[in-house]
Amino acid sequence: MSINRTAKGIVLVPSLLLGGAFMAAGVWVDADGPAAANRPLALGLGAVLMAAGLIAQLLPEPGSAVGQQSQSSSASSSSGKPKA
């Protein structure tokens, strides 16, 4: 199964939205309330989700420039014509 631009977008959008929601929940929770103990958890989950979405965008796509260069050089060398 290959990685493509659509799959990257499907990973990016939900992870950024959920990560942002967890980060907002961690920031806006009352410091004195009972949910204050969950603040580090919410901030950690938010950071991990946002990082995962952004890292997914950095994965190389199949057929990138490196792969195309090697294919074009092998195609030109295997054309059967003698080089002058």
Residues 37-70 have pLDDT tens digits of 889 999 999 999 999 999 988 878 777 655 455 4
Residues 1-30 have pLDDT tens digits of 677 878 888 888 999 999 999 999 999 987
**Distance between CA atoms of residues 51 and 71, nearest Å:** 33
What is the DSSP secondary structure assignment for residue 59, as one 8-state letter? S
Tell how many helices (H) and how many strands (E) occur in the chain.
3, 0
Distances (CA, A) of 20 to 62, 63, 64: 30, 32, 31
